[in-house]
Amino acid sequence: MLKKPVLFSYFLFMFCLCSFSDNQRIIDTLEIHKQIKSFGIDEDVLDFKSHFFSDLIFKNDSTIIYNPNGSLHLFEINLGDIPQVSKISKSLNGGYDNRYLFLHSDTIYSLGGEGLFNSFPGLIYFDDFSGNWKKKAIKFYPIDSEKILNSWKIGDKVMVLLSPFQENDNGYFSEALEFSFGEIDLRTFEYVQHNNFKSTFQELLFQSGLGFFRGNYVYDSDLYSLHGYYQSDGDVEYRILDKAAGSLNRNSKLDAIKSVDGLSYLYVEDTTIYHRDRYGDIKSFGVNEGQTVHKKEFFKLYTSKVNNGSPSKISIFYYLVIIIPICTLIFFLLKKRKNSLLNNIPYYLDENLVDIINKLKNEKSNTFTKNRLDEIFNISHYSYETIKTRRSDIIKKINKFSNIKIDRVRKVDDKRFYEYKIT
């Protein structure tokens, strides 16, 4: 039985691609799914039920492009009484989750995203001639960029917030790092920095958000994009991204639209949001109508982080309140670690950890891939998120309570990836 939040993708989705013209096209997801399955692609890769409408590009009023989240598969779907699906990509390798998929000058681009073990900070495009995805070089791109935290396209440019860390980097949450906010010019493919600032992930996150997850339902237009998020009760919560203002807004008008269930749809054109209910009634309202419930102002957040003077007395007070306890805690932890020996592991560490430490001692090599380390940790059979969490927890315990230290370093032959060094 399908979960309520994903039921809508198994109806005939009556989506009007050309505003109020009589040429309304039907997106028959049942037929589309049936044809896509004939290509023999793993259903887990497609995740068709949950993400189909967030993985689309509306090329024109009769053609849509479908790129399943986390893959490099690309399909062209010609709409009509019976949709016709063709696979136009040859790529078989995995892609990236939560990437930004967009169309510019009839070329399909994918920006950033998160892979199985790392993030991708670059830009790729689909080459129609070869049927493969290719990387697009960007001039003046910060060489230390590891991840794109936020991005949106407006006109001939893409606004981006770049980070020098990945989520599984040690200390990423509280360590002060230098972020870069700027734009990629899609005519020259040059990066122009608007501001760089030092902050912590924690500070940015607590000030109305760092970026945003694009959601399970996406409709992208020139000036705005709509984002829908499935809820456990079956409803869909909506946000509208004002690209010119750089703000992600939730308002009372959007909150009144409880769900898109397959017989209804929601899209934005110019400065107007249109909603067709399941009975065929169409209502519209301006993007700025209604009361603002919540707003994330990205431009303001990313450009206000400039150190223009000495800290205030209040800031110094809060620094002291926070720093003194932390320094005290660090002192005792370091002292405790210094007295900890490998052969005298504290009684509160379980036997599995003792076994892991002994295995590491007996390994001939002192450099490990993630896969090899996961095998030693006996966690390779878990899901990706569980593996990442347990790996981090085990490494922290070993580094803290034994005289073995595990460091995450870049691979010598491929700086995009990491391995683990035991000392």
Record the pTM: 0.66
Amino acid sitting at position 11: F
**What pLDDT is attached to residue 206?**
64
* b/e burial code for range 338-371 (CB count within 10 A of at least 16 → b): eeeeeeebeeebeeebeebbeebeeeeeeebebe
**What pLDDT is attached to residue 116?**
66
Domain residue ranges in the chain: 4-303, 340-422
* Tokens 């830009």 belong to residue: 123
**What pLDDT is attached to residue 383?**
72
Cα torsion through 113, 114, 116, 121, rounded to 10: 70
**What pLDDT is attached to residue 166?**
64
Rounded CA-CA distance 202/221 in Å is 31
Backbone angles phi, psi at 66, to 5 degrees: -120, 120
Q: Give the pLDDT means over successive 10-residue stretches in the chain (423 positions).
A: 41 47 65 88 74 84 88 91 92 79 94 82 94 94 89 96 71 74 96 88 67 83 90 82 93 85 79 85 90 88 61 47 73 58 41 75 77 81 76 80 80 74 82
Beta-carbon contacts of residue 260 (< 8 Å; ≥ 6 apart)? 8, 217, 228, 236, 266
**What pLDDT is attached to residue 347?**
34
Rounded CA-CA distance 189/192 in Å is 10
Among 304, 100, 311, CA closest to 207: 304
**What pLDDT is attached to residue 322?**
67
